[in-house]
Structure 1
Amino acid sequence: MTLFNIGLIVVGIILVIWGADRMTDGASKLARDMRVPEIVIGLTIVAAGTSAPELFVSLMSALKGTPDLAVGNVIGSNIFNTLLIVGCSAAVAPIAVAPNTVKKDIPFAIGASLLLFMLCADDMGSVHLWGNEISRSDGIILLIGFVAFMVYTFQMAAKDGKLDFLDEELGVEREKPKKDYTHLWRNLFWIGLGLGCLIVGSHIFVNGATYVAYRFGIRQSVVGLTIVAGGTSLPELATSVVAAYKGRSAMAIGNVIGSNVFNILLILGITSVVHPMRIMGITIVDLMMMLISIGLMWIFAITKYFVSRREGWVLILTFMGYMGWLLYLL
């Protein structure tokens, strides 16, 4: 039975990752056919697509009465993104960071992390956060923060003159696009299929992870911080490492920042509004590691506007140390 549920975890991960890829690809093509500006695609469809695994796994976990998996998934994914993904990408090739990213975008991600810290750590008298709750009102605050982030990003893009249509990429003059219902229905099919795989895959994944945690006496929060977080962050890891290998490692920073902000403000915002989450296993140490990871990346980036290979290995070793701490708690 245990091997069967481990198999369910693997199948769930595959379905979630494949479904997110299909949904994102179909939605991107649909938006391009409709001549939606590229920045809009990146900030909405692509960003939502890469965060879809975390969203569906967290939402399903909360609805099934396992909130530690949901909160642990988000906190663990952010730690995974910042330490392991940026670390591995920088270890492959140093990552250049734009000044605006260092001065504006990363501080916004730090602010989102601090907001989550304050919402979770209502009582700082103990290392554990037993009984603390991310309520519906907290979720509304997070969603307001997400809207503010989107408004800010669009304003910056418009100010920089980046809201342009994809004329050069499409190779056509700016004109009213011809209707192609074949492409329309094909893209809608892939969006629907991807969404279905996300729902089914997250359901299977949460069931398998919950059983394994119960069978071996592992806290659900630890499962969320490790297995669930790592599984839902695999698309970002693969994308960033491949990009670094191809000499385009700068996109890793933007990928991590956007994913971290989406995870906290949008995913936990939606999840807690749908189903308030009582925290039972997340500790102050976990929240502090989330803050330390994004702060460490910011310190490395602000020095010379790039993250070196040596700094990448520091991030990786920090991640390994945190995983060792979680294993020690078992």
Structure 2
Amino acid sequence: MTLVWFLAGLAALVVGAELLVRGASRLALAWGLSPLVVGLTVVAFGTSAPETAVSVGAVFSGRTDIAVGNVVGSNIFNVLFILGVSALIVPLTVARQVIRQEVPIMIGASVLLLALGLDGTLSRLDGLWLVGLLIAYTAALVIQSRREAAAQAPSDDSSAGHAGGHWAVQLLLVIGGLALLVLGSRWLVDAAVTMAQALGVSDLVIGLTVVAAGTSLPEVATSVMAAVRGQRDIAVGNVVGSCTFNLLGCLGLSALLGPQGLTVAASLLHFDIWVMIAVAFACLPFFFTGRQIARWEGAVFLAYYAAYTAYLVLRAQHHDALPAFSHMMLGFVLPLTLITIVVSVIRPSARQAPPAG
């Protein structure tokens, strides 16, 4: 029955996120937001609602390791797996705004989590700072998008009333989606904890793997379908926006609502958060290479995620091969970061030189 409840919770999260995204994105388009900003805000925040619901629910259940591990694992999954799969389907074109503004913000939020968690906790004050930064970031995006829309098409106001039907219908979709997310998160967290105890696996590992991948399924479906339909701004913006929201909104709310904030496990500080920061930096060179994520680059992302998952499994089992694999994985973070810096410096000039002539 534990597996049944887990799958039921997962299904409720996916359906709830779909309803939330559909209603909220149509409302946002009616307000004159661009597809990229819709992907970065409404779609990204909506598809990240399962992570928020699960992490907040885990905090109230006293399982803070799941709350923090879920966010770190989801961000690693979002970049390496979702962008990797989407790029394998069709090469992803990346908007200049994502390169110049959104990815640096995602990297900054990742580094901020490390800085705030160095003392082993995310206090309520830390949570307040994170939520405040999210509100400021979202407001800046909306203002920026509306200004650009007004400058490009000041007379195009007629479409605002037809962006998907009456606003009350979209509002009902949002409310129904939120209700399913709350219910599904409770089922999924309870089942995941039971599975962890039965298998002898820690809450942290379950949060980094099973829960992280499960709550990221809405992002998988959204980005893959957007890539197939040619809505590449939404495909990439969804991933980048979700990562930023997970760090600022999901962890911020969890720390703010927790009785004593959140405990940040030592293993996260020593390894997993560094991997998350490394993969955030890894976006830069791939995005700079002609502002496109090619299929081979998507394959590289997937290979990195497979290696990271293998490490987590070995670590959870205290396998004899763990020391050797650990040395290999320790060589993963620094080389990946160095490669991103070198490629981001060399390849843009090579790609941008011909058009300039």
TM-score normalised by length of structure 1 = 0.85
Q: Which residue of 2 aligns with 1:36?
A: 31
1:289 lines up with 2:275 in the alignment: yes
TM-score with structure 2 setting the length: 0.79
Identity over aligned pairs, percent: 36
The offset of 1:121, in angstroms, is 2.4
Which of these residues, 143, 148, 165, is aligned with residue 136 of structure 2? 148
* Distance of aligned partners of 1:210 and 1:150 in 2 relative to their CA distance in 1, 3 Å threshold: same
| Matched residue, 1:305 | 291
SS where residue 6 of structure 1 aligns?
A: helix
Letter in 1 for 2:281: G
**Deviations 1:123-161 (Å, cap 9, x if unpaired)?**
xxxxxxxxx111101101111221231233234324533
Residue of structure 1 in register with 2:123 after alignment: 135
Give the residue type in structure 1 aligned to 2:141: T
User: Aligned in 2, Cα 1:27/1:156: closer, same or farther, shift over 3 Å?
Assistant: closer
Displacement after TM superposition at 1:94 (Å)? 1.3
- What is the match of residue 350 of structure 2? none
Residue 320 of structure 2: aligned partner: none
Spell out, residue by residue over 1:26-80, the C-alpha distance to the aligned partner (whole angstroms, 9 max, x if none).
Answer: 3445566xx4223486665433321211111110001100011111111111111
Task: Please point out which of 128, 132, 149 is paired with 1:161.
Answer: 149
Deviations 1:165-209 (A, max 9, x none): 97464687xxxx9xx9xx565444433332221111100100000
Matched, 1:191 2:191: no
In structure 2, the partner of 1:47 is: 44
Instruction: Return the match for 2:75 from 59, 63, 78.
Output: 78
Q: Deviations over 1:67-117 (max 9, x none)?
A: 111111111111111000111111111111122321221111100110011
In structure 2, the residue matched to 1:229 is 212
Q: Deviations over 1:219-266 (max 9, x none)?
A: 111111111111111111122122223333343221111111111001
Give the 3-state SS of the residue equivalent to 2:179 in structure 1: helix
Q: Does 1:264 align with 2:247?
A: yes
Structure 2 unaligned spans of 5+ = 317-357
Instruction: From the superposition, tell whether residues 305 and 189 of structure 1 become closer, same or farther in structure 2 (CA, over 3 Å).
Output: closer
Question: What are the within-5 Å matches in structure 2 for residues 199-218 of structure 1?
Answer: 199-218=182-201
Using a 3 Å threshold, how does the CA distance of structure 1 residues 307 and 41 change in structure 2: closer, same or farther? closer
Specify the SS of the correspondent of 1:282.
helix
In structure 2, how many angstroms separate the alpha carbons of the residues matched to 1:146 and 1:171? 28
The one-letter code of the counterpart of 2:99 is V
Q: Secondary structure, in 3 states, of the residue corresponding to 2:47? A: helix
Give the secondary structure class of the aligned counterpart of 2:232: coil
Q: Would you say 1:58 and 2:55 are equivalent positions?
A: yes
What is the identity, as a one-letter code, of the residue corresponding to 2:93?
A
Q: Which amino acid aligns with 1:96?
A: T
Aligned residues: 308
Give the secondary structure class of the aligned counterpart of 1:53.
helix
Distance 1:139 1:103, change over 3 A: same
Structure 1: distance between partners of 2:292 and 2:273: 26
Query: What aligned pairs does 1:163-182 form with structure 2 within 5 A after superposition?
Result: 167=157, 169=159
Aligned-residue offset at 1:292: 1.0
> What's the counterpart of residue 263 of structure 2?
278
Give the letter for the 2:55 counterpart: S
Larger relative contact order, structure 1 or 2 (CA cutoff 8 Å, min sep 6): 1
Is the contact made by 1:241 and 1:249 (CA closer than 8 Å) also made in structure 2?
A: no
Larger helix fraction of residues: 2
Q: Are the equivalent residues in 2 in contact too, given 1:83–1:315 (CA < 8 A)?
A: yes
Q: Distance in 2 between matches of 1:263 and 1:320?
A: 22
CA contact 2:17–2:50 (8 Å) conserved in 1: yes
Q: Does the aligned pair in 1 maintain the 2:67–2:207 contact within 8 Å?
A: yes
**Partner amino acid, structure 2, of 1:83:** L
Q: 1:151 to 1:186 in 2, by over 3 A?
A: closer
